[in-house]
Amino acid sequence: MMIAILIDSIITTKHYNDNNNNYYFYYYYYYYYYYYYYYYYYYYYYYYYYC
């Protein structure tokens, strides 16, 4: 399965992870599902990886 997340989102989530781990996971998964759904439209903004 391919997952697409904005690079800016990854940097932001790392910042929140340092401050509040719980909020980090909420923030991360929010962007994960949102951008995974729309990555076809904005693929050129994304960092791709496989899991």
**Per-domain residue ranges for the chain?**
2-50
Radius of gyration of the chain (CA): 11
- Sign of the alpha-carbon dihedral angle for 30, 51, 22, 17: negative
Over the chain (51 residues), what is each successive 10-residue block's mean pLDDT? 46 43 38 40 39 34
- Could you give the angle at the alpha carbon of 21 between the alpha carbons of 18 and 23, nearest 5°? 110
pLDDT of residue 21: 43
Global pTM value: 0.14
pLDDT of residue 44: 38
Distance CA 5, CA 21 (A): 19
pLDDT of residue 26: 35
pLDDT of residue 17: 42
pLDDT of residue 32: 42
